[in-house]
Every structure is written in C-alpha cells, then in structure tokens.
Structure 1
Amino acid sequence: MAQPSHSSLFEKAMTVIPIDSSTYSANLDPAWCIGTVPHGGYTASVLYRTATIHFARKYTTRKQLARSPEPIGLQISFLRRTFTGPAILTVQEIKLGSRVSTIHVTLSQKPNQPATTKKLAYGSELEIMVAAFITMSPPDTEQGPVIKGLWDLSPPMPHGSLSDGSIDFKALAEDGIDGTWVLCPQTPPALHAAKHLRIFSPSHTLSAMRLEDRTKQIVDQWAQFAPGGKPAKWSNEAVLYLADMFPAALTRMEAMETSRLLALEGETGSAKSMMEVPFGQFWFPTVTMNVDLKTRLPPQGVEWLHSRVVTRMLRGSRADLDVMILDQKGELIATSSQVALVVDGSRNIRGRQDSGRL
C-alpha cells in the first residue's frame, strides 16, 4: 500500500476507527500538542477524516459515485480543553442531499482523563469537548471552469530572488533563504505540533521589533509539511492543520495583549512603543474555527502552501484571526476565520481543575 502524501506519521495520528454506523474512535497524539493540549488544527484534521470515512462507508451501500462526498466547510466550536489519548466521535446526519449534505460531529472524552488512559468504553461517562457542523459535497459535482472575482493580496506578498519578483522555491528549500524569505528558527520545545512543518517568513518580521510595530505587522509565511521532521506533502486533511499554525501571528497577538495590559496600567506613549515584545508568557486557545475549503488538493499533494494571517482587533483578551491559504500558482486553497483567547500560558500545563474551562 502506497504511503499517503502527508506521511504515514500524520496518517496514524488522525486514524479514525468505526465502532458502529454513527460512532468512531480516535487517539489524540501527544506529538501534535501545544503544551499538553492537542492542537486545534490537528483536531480539525481528525474531524475532517471522520466525516470522509463516514460518507465513504455510507456511499458504498447508498449509491455509486466516482468519489464519495468530502468536506467543503467546517464550523468548529472548541468547548473544552481536549486531552491526549482516546476520544469518541459521534456523527449525526442533519441533511443528506445529492449536491450538499450536512452532518454534526462531536468529539467526546472522559472528564479529567489521565494521560495513561489507553481506551474508552463506548457509553461510559463522556463529555463533549469539540462540536462541529461539517458541510459535504461530492467532487463530481464541482466540474467545469472556475470563475474568479477581482481580488489580490494587499499589500503584495514579499518578493523572492527571481527577475519577476517570484520565489525560487528550490533555493528556498535547499539554502533556507531566497530574496527576503528565510527559514524561521525552531519553535520552543513545548510547541510539539509546530515541529511538523518548516516555515519561511520575510526576514524583517523575524528581527526584534518595538511593541507598536509588532502589533501592526502583516503575517506572511510559506510552509512545507514535515511530520516528525521528514519531508511530506500537503493534503486536504493537512490544510486543516495549517489553517491553525502560524507562530508569527501568535507573536503579534502577544504584542497586542501586552500593549493592552500596559494601557490598563497607565503605560502610554513612547515608552510603551519602544518596548521589545516578550514571547512565551501567553497561551492562545481557539474558541471557534470556521474553514471554507475552496480547492481540493491533488491526491499526490503539494509541496508548498502560503498563509496570510490578519488580526483586526484584540478586545478583552479576545482576538480574531483571518487566514488565507494559497498554492504556488496563487490559487486560493482555503480561508479560515477564527476566534482565539489570550490567556496566561501556564494554564496550558496545569490540571483540568485550573484550565479546563475558559
């Protein structure tokens, strides 16, 4: 059996096993955590896989299509902090149609689940941690030309070394630098989920910045998928992981929260604007994540994807994040709109009694 484009490691991490016609089991992998909490994008990949398996099973007996329905949109609410280890996923069919279907998927775990838990008994006392409405559509129904509206990235993407300003991706991959783009430093050890990709950013965004400048920065990144540090390709499932993976955007949110707290303490003006941005004192739990999958990736996957991440406002430690994901040709692959909180970073590693409910 051929290895999937996104690697056998990622495939294993999002394995979903049927229990009955509407119930599935999964095991949330500690290698895909931020601190001790499974990463939101990785969890979204598990939900995506649950939906595709559910419809693949259903359509083997219902009707024959070249390909069974696949997700085109996900509306996810992260209700409680998840744990590593076993989880139960339950599918409720809300509406089944020939063109568009909608299901409701919940991910449940045992409250205060210990890290040593290996298996959950279906029907035991479980608590819903994540809930999602997932919209499905058969790829067969999306044939024909693509009509595009008039839009572009503004400001434009930073330039590469080629004469037309584009990036030499071969040089970027081999040398870690091309034009203004450079390989980002490794993330802190606790950010396990961030170790599965190589991120390249404009060099000026990686240098020390004043607090005021950091809050206003535009976050652009090119990324290669590398589960366990080994090269792989971006797949449709992996796009969900990427939609929630943007270290530089979190640094910007950290600056915004620091600025807000200083303003509450009466710090204003030049002293505040000249401060450098600390990093690592906050945690950014995702509350909601809405993803629109615009283009399905080919079965062989793609090597590079670009993300632009914008935060318009942080208010009361609550921030918005808008993400656009494009391929090397500028084709729009996905958009994501998220709400995240900025909280004390130590809550990510303390017990459930301290940090389970936000």
Structure 2
Amino acid sequence: MLTSHFEYPSRAAAGPAIVTIDDVKLGRQVSTLHLTLWQDGLLSQSPWVTPSVSRRVTLAYTSHTNLSTFEGITIPTAYEASPTAALPPIPDFELLKTQDIDNNWELSRLPKPPGPLSYLTKWRFYMPRGNPLVSGTTDMWIRLSNGERITQGALAYVADAFPHNLHMFLATPELRALIEAQQKQANSNAKGQGGTEERASLWFPTLTMNLEAKMALPEQGIEWLTVRVTTKQIKDGRFDIDLLIRDVDGEIVALSQQVAMILSIERNMASRKPKALL
C-alpha cells in the first residue's frame, strides 16, 4: 500500500465483518481500490450484505504499488537535517520489555478493567517520563504486546492506536499538572471508599485518516516503532493529529494525518440508536 484514505461513518463492534473491494483502476505501476467494511446482516455469498440492515463501518480508498521496486528522483530535504527531525532518546528495549520502565520511558497502563478500551491491550505504548523533545509534540515507542513483529499490513493499525491518556501529553504543562492532581485526588477518594476499579474518562473516535507509506518494512516485520504525535488545536471536542512513524534507525516508515473527536467514554458504551433522517 502506498496511500490510503479512511472514513469511519459507524462505530465498529466485536464480531464478524466483511470487506468488499471495488477495482477503481488497475495500473502498471499504481492501482487504486475502494474498500468497504460491513457489519450486521451479513450473507455467506454475494451480494454479501443486506442493504436495509448492514452497516458501513469503514470506507477506504487505497493506492497500491511495490514499494520495494518503486524508483524515482530522491532529494535530501532541509527538514531531514533540522533538530525537529532528531529521534527521541533510544530506550533500553530489554528493560522496557521486562520492567516496563527505563530512564526516559515508561509503559502507559490501561485502567483495570479496560472495558471498551480492551482493543488497546494489543499494544504496548511507552511514553516519555520527562519534557517533550520538541515543544507541542509527544513521542512514544510502541510494540505489539504478544511479541509479534509489526508488518506492512499493520501500519494503518499503528496510525490509529493511541494510549488512553494521549490528551495528557498534548496539553500545556500547566493544564497537565492540574489534571494529574485532580486524578490523584479522585483515585485517593475512591480508595478511601473501598473502590478498586479504575476508569478511563475519554474516548478518541477517528473521523478521517490519511496514511502514506514511505518505505517497505522487512517481510518478517520489525519489533519497535517510534511515533511522534503533533496536535495543533484541541477545541469543541475535535482535534487534529499528525503522525511521524519511524524505525529505530530514524527512517520514516509512514506519515498520517487525522481528524478525531474527544468524547466521554460512556458514548462508546451506549447502545446504537436508529438511523437518523436528513
């Protein structure tokens, strides 16, 4: 895959799904496909879906080429030599895998039980312990929790998976300190009342996502990626996300731009309402 554009018109649910694929253009170097992921009312044969029942969960346009053989003009850019292109500190990877923490990074822990955020248990997100390397951004190192390697086909999943407390690392230092103090007080009050259950308070549903693959990962995949997240504005329940995804050598693996919402976690647990009418 070279590029992709995703839209998420409906909330996905755990369970069966079908992806239908339309060949928009099959070219000698680049081909374009239109994909639709459906749920509910699925059939075992064509036409695969029931129009009045099935839901379009994800829509995508993707362009495909062989990144291993794709050739063209290459020009070094000024960005590549700038301080903002520097890698974040390289972790002690073995220490992170065995103890979840080193001098610069620590594991972002999910609430227990994770509830509607259980899909995030597939990943391990290691967040910075100190100030960001670049103001207005946050860096993280990620790997799959089961020890498998990250392959080319998983890049869209990489781009759309974030720690549950991402907003904490994107807020101003003053606001982050205030939120952390409030959370500590809330946890203290809960323990004082005999409570043990933790809860995430926010949910970040993606509205649209663009993804561009910059290189082909090894066929066997790689264990670690570093992701730099930049958000320019969080306002009225919406925020923009720019992602820079790199390998441990600093090579750009993929770029992504997204528009997402910030909602109460209860919205992710609510039952679906009937279809709205225009």
Q: TM-score range by the shorter chain?
A: 0.7 to 0.9
| 1:168 alignment counterpart | 92
| 1:137 alignment counterpart | 65
| 2:124 alignment counterpart | 198
- What is the percentage of aligned positions where both structures have the same residue? 31
| 1:276 alignment counterpart | 179
> Cα–Cα, structure 1 residues 186 and 82, in superposed 2: closer, same or farther, change >3 Å?
closer
Q: Which runs of structure 1 show a deviation greater than 4 angstroms over 4 or more consecutive aligned residues?
A: 143-147, 155-158, 253-256, 354-357
Q: What is the CA–CA distance in structure 2 between the aligned matches of 1:137 and 1:273, rounded to whole Å? A: 43
- Alpha-carbon displacement from aligned partner over 1:212-238 (angstroms, at most 9, x marks no partner): x9xx75321111212xxx211111122
Which structure carries more helix by proportion? 1
Which stretch of structure 1 is more off in the superposition, 189-198 or 149-158? 149-158
Q: What is the CA–CA distance in structure 1 between the aligned matches of 2:12 and 2:176, rounded to whole Å? A: 37
| 1:303 alignment counterpart | 223
> Cα–Cα, structure 1 residues 84 and 299, in superposed 2: closer, same or farther, change >3 Å?
same
Cα displacement (A) at 1:196:
1.4
| 1:163 alignment counterpart | none
**Superposition CA RMSD, Å:** 3.2
- Alpha-carbon displacement from aligned partner over 1:295-353 (angstroms, at most 9, x marks no partner): 11111111110001111012321110111110000000011100001122211011001
1:184 aligns with 2:108: yes
Q: How many residues align?
A: 248
- Alpha-carbon displacement from aligned partner over 1:49-100 (angstroms, at most 9, x marks no partner): xxxxxxxxxxxxxxxxxxxxxx111100101112222222221111121111
| 1:22 alignment counterpart | none
Q: What is the CA–CA distance in structure 2 between the aligned matches of 1:93 and 1:234, rounded to whole Å? A: 27
Q: What is the CA–CA distance in structure 1 between the aligned matches of 2:127 and 2:104, rounded to whole Å? A: 8
Contact 1:326 1:332 (8 Å CA) reproduced: yes
In the alignment, structure 2 segments of 5+ residues that lack a partner are 184-198
Q: What is the CA–CA distance in structure 2 between the aligned matches of 1:316 and 1:354, rounded to whole Å? A: 25
> Cα–Cα, structure 1 residues 172 and 355, in superposed 2: closer, same or farther, change >3 Å?
farther
| 1:219 alignment counterpart | 138
TM-score, with structure 1 as normaliser: 0.61
Q: What is the CA–CA distance in structure 2 between the aligned matches of 1:123 and 1:247, rounded to whole Å? A: 34
| 2:34 alignment counterpart | 104
Aligned pairs for 1:249-288 (under 5 A) are: 250-252=166-168, 275-277=178-180, 278=183, 280-288=200-208
> Cα–Cα, structure 1 residues 274 and 306, in superposed 2: closer, same or farther, change >3 Å?
closer
| 1:124 alignment counterpart | 50
Cα displacement (A) at 1:192:
1.1
Q: What is the CA–CA distance in structure 2 between the aligned matches of 1:286 and 1:315, rounded to whole Å? A: 15
TM-score, with structure 2 as normaliser: 0.77
> Cα–Cα, structure 1 residues 97 and 273, in superposed 2: closer, same or farther, change >3 Å?
closer
Code of the aligned partner of 1:336? S
Code of the aligned partner of 2:65? S
Match for residue 241 of structure 1 among 137, 154, 157: 157
Which stretch of structure 1 is more off in the superposition, 192-201 or 245-254? 245-254
Q: What is the CA–CA distance in structure 2 between the aligned matches of 1:150 and 1:103, rounded to whole Å? A: 34
Cα displacement (A) at 1:181:
1.9
Which stretch of structure 1 is more off in the superposition, 217-226 or 90-99? 217-226
Code of the aligned partner of 2:209? M
Which stretch of structure 1 is more off in the superposition, 132-141 or 149-158? 149-158
Code of the aligned partner of 2:12? T
> Cα–Cα, structure 1 residues 248 and 79, in superposed 2: closer, same or farther, change >3 Å?
closer
1:92 aligns with 2:12: no
Match for residue 251 of structure 2 among 331, 336, 342: 331
Code of the aligned partner of 1:202? P
Cα displacement (A) at 1:274:
6.2
In the alignment, structure 1 segments of 5+ residues that lack a partner are 1-70, 114-118, 160-165, 206-212, 257-269
> Cα–Cα, structure 1 residues 139 and 273, in superposed 2: closer, same or farther, change >3 Å?
closer
Cα displacement (A) at 1:140:
5.5
Q: What is the CA–CA distance in structure 1 between the aligned matches of 2:255 and 2:85, rounded to whole Å? A: 17
> Cα–Cα, structure 1 residues 175 and 325, in superposed 2: closer, same or farther, change >3 Å?
same
Q: What is the CA–CA distance in structure 1 between the aligned matches of 2:123 and 2:176, rounded to whole Å? A: 32
